[in-house]
Amino acid sequence: MLLEHLNSKLRAIAAQDLTRFLREAETPTAPHQRVRGADGVARELLMFCSNDYLGLAAHPRVAEALAEGARLYGGGSGASPLVSGHSVAHARVSQTLADWFAPHIPRARSLGFCTGYMANLGVITALGDADTEIFSEALNHASLIDGTRLARAQVTRYGHGDVEQLRALLAQSRAKVKLIVTDAVFSMDGDIAPLPQLLALADEFDAWLVVDDAHGFGVLGEQGRGSLEHFGLRSERLILIGTLGKAAGLAGAFVVAHETITEYLLQAARNFIFSTASPAAVEHALLTSLELIASETGRARRRHLVALQARLEAGIGALLARHPALPWRLAPSQTPVRPLIIGGNAEVMELAARLEREGLRVPGIRPPTVAKGEARLRITLCATHTEADVERLLAALDAAATDMERAAA
């Protein structure tokens, strides 16, 4: 009965062109990677899909630090942080991050989580008690949405970037505690939330601003500290969540907030308390990765990334002008996340499959991850891409556009 039930649901997923499948990478995370497809055949692919924005995942110093960490601390941490899983390496990562954000959040303290998903779930469920109203941005990441579903708080959604709607909702609220929750950089769109305006509303209505900077940390700001540095924000009302599996190239996440908030999370966030701490070796390697983010290497990589973004944007602009009959459009992004909106699910998957046959991996993103009719290629750039890599993508997209236009005519 269960199997029949699931098979019928799987068929429904397939009928909507929504079936997902796993590929297997055989080489390190990098723009040029050997990947085994669903057909079992391994191919050399030019990847425009990882969130390893600074190319640190396979950086020799990061890999060496991980190996050194394993020699120093062994494999797993053995227990949850409050039992015996917390190490000096964990503490040093937290201290480094607290110091980094001290200019932005007074009395900042940092608390580590195993993944960004866990950090988001932990923060939203721990802070979102029955006295709280959560104001949740429409395009928030699934992990924030899942947090609001598990929380006991009242949840009110506001439109994407709609500061005026949020103001009206805050003005109506009678809740004792108000939390505004938003992605800093929207993961499927690449645009940046209007954080200064949101913070001004938090001040005006005595609310707190939870910022998920998964895609800004390491990438935005002169020193790579992310969207708070990008906007030059400073407030006790900021609760920052950052992830360490994207630009930092490893794994994990952190929350930086006023020390009372992080102390409460340590006492109350169930997935902090009841889950095995990350391996100390990973934390040891994170120290090297954080050092690289802050160093001249990090700055140079961020500059190169900005140059690649400009090249891609100009190239796609020219391509769209050459193919006016196609409904494609480039999302207005200021980050290395550069979605090309195609429209239908079948169209985007056909395009992604064609690119893959030509040796380029650019994932198609479909509903429910994005709105219906807005299926897209989610192009992400990394500092380890070259100009030639971007030119190759542009040429492949142009050839596909020519064929699709011809087929439609």
Ligand X SMILES: *Cc1c(COP(=O)(O)O)cnc(C)c1O
Query: CB of 307: closest distance to ligand X in angstroms?
Result: 24
CB crowding 375-394: b at 16 or more within 10 Å, else e = bbbbbbbbbbbeeebbebbb
Q: And the tokens for 82?
A: 């409050």
Query: 126: Cβ–Cβ under 8 A, 6 or more apart, which residues?
Result: 264, 265, 268, 269, 270
What minimum distance in Å lies between the beta carbon of 188 and ligand X?
A: 9
Q: By C-beta, is 219 or 326 nearer to ligand X?
A: 219
Cα–Cα dist 76/168, whole Å: 48
59 versus 215: smaller Cβ distance to ligand X: 215
Cβ atoms of 191 and 333 closer than 8 Å: yes
**Between 175 and 377, whose beta carbon lies closer to ligand X?**
377
Calculate the CA 167 to chain-centre distance. Answer: 26
Beta carbon nearer to ligand X, 215 or 304? 215
User: Smaller CB distance to ligand X: residue 215 or 258?
Assistant: 215
Please give the C-alpha separations between residue 290 and each of 54, 212, 293, 295, in angstroms, as whole numbers: 11, 18, 5, 9
Task: State the minimum distance, in angstroms, from the CB of residue 72 to ligand X.
Answer: 24
Q: Which residue is nearest to ligand X (CB)?
A: 116
Question: What's the rounded Cα separation, in Å, for the pair 99 and 85?
Answer: 23
Considering the complex, state which of residue 183 and residue 356 has its C-beta at the smaller distance from ligand X: 183
Contacting positions for ligand X (CB under 6 A): 115-117, 120, 141, 143, 183, 187, 212, 214-215, 243, 245, 253
Q: Provide the minimum distance between the beta carbon of 214 and ligand X in the complex, in angstroms, as a whole number.
A: 3
Q: Which is nearer to ligand X, 55 or 245 (CB)?
A: 245
How far apart (Å, rounded) are the C-alpha atoms in residues 92 and 241? 17
Nearest to 96 by CA among 273, 264, 217: 217
With vertex at residue 267, the alpha carbon angle to CA 264 and CA 272, rounded to the nearest 5 degrees, is 105
Least distance between ligand X and beta carbon 141 (Å): 3
Instruction: For ligand X, give the closer residue by CB, 231 or 328.
Output: 231
Task: Say which residues have a Cβ less than 8 Å from residue 368's Cβ, sequence separation at least 6.
Answer: none
What's the count of helices (H) and strands (E) in the chain, helices before strands? 14, 15
- How many other C-beta atoms are found inside a 10 Å radius of the C-beta of residue 269? 24
Helix residue ranges, H only, 74-115: 88-101
Query: What DSSP state is assigned to residue 278?
Result: P
Q: Give 50 or 143: the residue with its C-beta nearer to ligand X.
A: 143
What whole-number distance in Å separates Cα of residue 150 and Cα of residue 378? 29
CB of 241 or CB of 401, closer to ligand X = 241
**Which residues partner with 185 through β-bridges?**
192
Which tokens in the block code for residue 291? 């050092």
Nearest-approach distance from CB 381 to ligand X, in angstroms: 15
CB of 391: closest distance to ligand X in angstroms?
Answer: 28
To ligand X, the closest distance from the beta carbon of 145 in angstroms equals 10
What's the N-to-C CA distance of the chain in angstroms?
A: 47
From CA 179, how far away is CA 192, in angstroms rounded?
19
Residue 274 half-sphere exposure, CB side, CA atoms within 13 Å? Answer: 6
CB of 369 to ligand X, least distance (A): 11
Minimum CB–partner distance for residue 23 and ligand X (Å): 17
Read off the amino acid at residue 280.
Answer: A
